[in-house]
Amino acid sequence: MKKHEIADVLKQLDTIPLPDKQKILSACSQPTASDEAVPSTVYRRKLRFKPLIAACAALLLLIAGTTYTLAAEVKEYKEAVIFFKEYDFSTDGLSRGEIKKVYRDIMTRSFTYSKTAEVIEKSISQSAIGGYEIFQDDPTPEDLENLWNYYNGRYWVKNVIKNKSNVSYKYYSEETHSDNLGFDVHEKSIFEKYVDNHLVWSAEFNDFWIQDFAVSDGKIIVFGKKNSGLQHSYAYMALIDNDGTILWETKPENGFENEYIGAILPANEKIVVFSRGDYKYLCLSEYDLKGNALSFHKTEVGNYGIWNAAKLGDGYIVQLGSYINDKNARIVKVSSDGVIMDSFTYDSDDSKYYITDMIEYNGCIYLSAYSVPVLENEEKNAGSRSDIAAVLNYIFDNQMFNISNEELTKLVRDNFTAVLLVCNPASGIPQEFYSVKGSLGGKLALSDSDKLLWDVESITNTSYSPATSAFTIGGESYVYRYTFDENGTILSQEKTDEIVRFMR
């Protein structure tokens, strides 16, 4: 029996006749009949109508009836307008009669009037921008400035979760046009430290693109890569002192023609580096704080990227991923000397998970992720872009190539759910999670007061580009921050002033 067949059988529940409504409601605190009805003991004078009096009475009744009808119409219209205001329904383009009809249609739960759907859809498209049970404000001028920077020559601009001291870091790279090559090339990568949004120091690197960084005792370990003219690429890393001085910069010499660093974990007086060599090796290297290599171990894992790593007991948890194989939540347990001990994935019947960050907190590994529905037809995976395949399929199946940003944003938000997974400390197997609809799981970090901070990127606005060969969907997401205590209980949630790019 398949899932849809089970659902079909469950629909038989709808055939069971419901109990009588009045019987059910009569047991509840309804207005009593005596509130409204005329008491039966009221004395009524018996009238003897003569024809003239009867005609006058009929006229009076007609006038009263008309007046009553008019008054009722005005009253209903007023109620309808209040109702529209209360639910932010737009009255644009609707006549007085249509407003009343929509109001009546909703209040009677008929939903048969054609304009009702239009009004509600419009309202939902507007309100759907909000995160799960979180009200979102319009973008601030600072948000727009941030966006402006994205669109004006700064690449890989990345804000990092601020801690309680309001310390934050930002890095970006700038390109310059090469007349010899005829295209833009990397000029420099800049790393900046901010306190209370004021720049404290910045460090520049000309040799490599900064791809990510880790913080250890106020010192920053940045890492990235450099592409050579021979189509080789080399990993780089550097240590920046807490005053912005670059203490050292090094290129790991592990004998690969192509190597990149996936994650760095600061440990006791050493730096643990997870890198991938020649598209098939998972490497674990250790360095001292002067940049000297202490140990190196490689394991052939196939064509998997190293997407995240975190400490787990004496060893580590590493997330391997492959866009080619559409593997996004493969996790391996690695011993302290780099040997793979175990491997597992996180998936369910009807959701597919994409892990975006991981962190160790209070002896547990927390995984930030997002989930999308499993495709009914795996063949329609939109060219291995499974996370938006459902959206693209919907657009293609319905020939909606002129879809509005509003409609698209609603579709995209329906597709994504941010998820926080908590791994078992011993086995590493994810156990439970929190979820936020319409969002992607973002960065994880610890606050100054040792609380867990989880960034959730609430998809705010998207646009669709059928002009690009890949039918790109791009947009922006507001960042919401959730704080958890040691037991995983939510302490607070806040909308930050940060906006991140959404691009698929």
- 114-119-121 Cα angle (round to 5): 100
By beta-carbon proximity to another protein, the closer residue of 127 and 165 is: 127
Binding mask 339-358 for another protein (x = CB under 8 A): ---------xx---------
Question: Minimum Å distance from CB 87 to another protein?
Answer: 7
Binding of another protein at residue 430 (CB under 8 A)?
yes
How many other C-beta atoms can be found within 10 angstroms of the C-beta atom of residue 79? 14
Question: Minimum Å distance from CB 6 to another protein?
Answer: 6
User: Of the candidates 328, 356, 417, 458, which one interacts with another protein according to CB under 8 A?
Assistant: 417
Binding of another protein at residue 14 (CB under 8 A)?
yes
| Cβ atoms of 284 and 259 closer than 8 Å | no
Question: Minimum Å distance from CB 347 to another protein?
Answer: 11
| Cβ atoms of 304 and 355 closer than 8 Å | no
Radius of gyration for the alpha carbons in the chain, expressed in angstroms and rounded: 31
User: Of the candidates 25, 53, 70, 470, which one interacts with another protein according to CB under 8 A?
Assistant: 25
By beta-carbon proximity to another protein, the closer residue of 273 and 317 is: 317
The CA distance from 447 to 161, in Å, is 9
Residues near 229 by Cβ (< 8 Å), separated by ≥ 6?
none
Binding mask 373-412 for another protein (x = CB under 8 A): ----------------------------------------
Beta-strand relationship, 184-195 and 270-277: unpaired
Residues of this chain, 114-173, that bind another protein according to CB under 8 A:
120, 124, 133
By beta-carbon proximity to another protein, the closer residue of 80 and 238 is: 80
Looking at 11-19, 57-65, 298-306, 315-323, which segment touches another protein (CB under 8 A)?
11-19
As a whole number of angstroms, the longest Cα–Cα distance in the chain is 117
Sign of the dihedral defined by the CA atoms of residues 121, 476, 131, 83, in that order: negative
Which amino acid does the sequence have at 365? I
Number of residues that bind another protein (CB under 8 A): 42
Give the position of tokens 């329904």. 89
By beta-carbon proximity to another protein, the closer residue of 240 and 420 is: 420
Instruction: Using alpha carbons, list the distances in angstroms from residue 8 to 4, 13, 18, 46, 225.
Output: 6, 10, 19, 63, 54
Q: Phi first, then psi: give them for residue 301, nearest 5 degrees.
A: -120, -5
The CA distance from 455 to 185, in Å, is 32
How many other C-beta atoms can be found within 10 angstroms of the C-beta atom of residue 501? 15
Binding of another protein at residue 77 (CB under 8 A)?
no
The CA distance from 462 to 125, in Å, is 12
Binding of another protein at residue 431 (CB under 8 A)?
yes
Binding of another protein at residue 48 (CB under 8 A)?
no
Question: Minimum Å distance from CB 437 to another protein?
Answer: 7
Binding of another protein at residue 75 (CB under 8 A)?
no
User: Of the candidates 71, 107, 144, 195, which one interacts with another protein according to CB under 8 A?
Assistant: 107
Kindly list the residues in this chain that would bind another protein in the complex (CB under 8 A): 1-3, 6-7, 9-16, 18-19, 21, 24-25, 27-31, 86-87, 106-107, 109, 111, 120, 124, 133, 348-349, 417, 430-435, 437
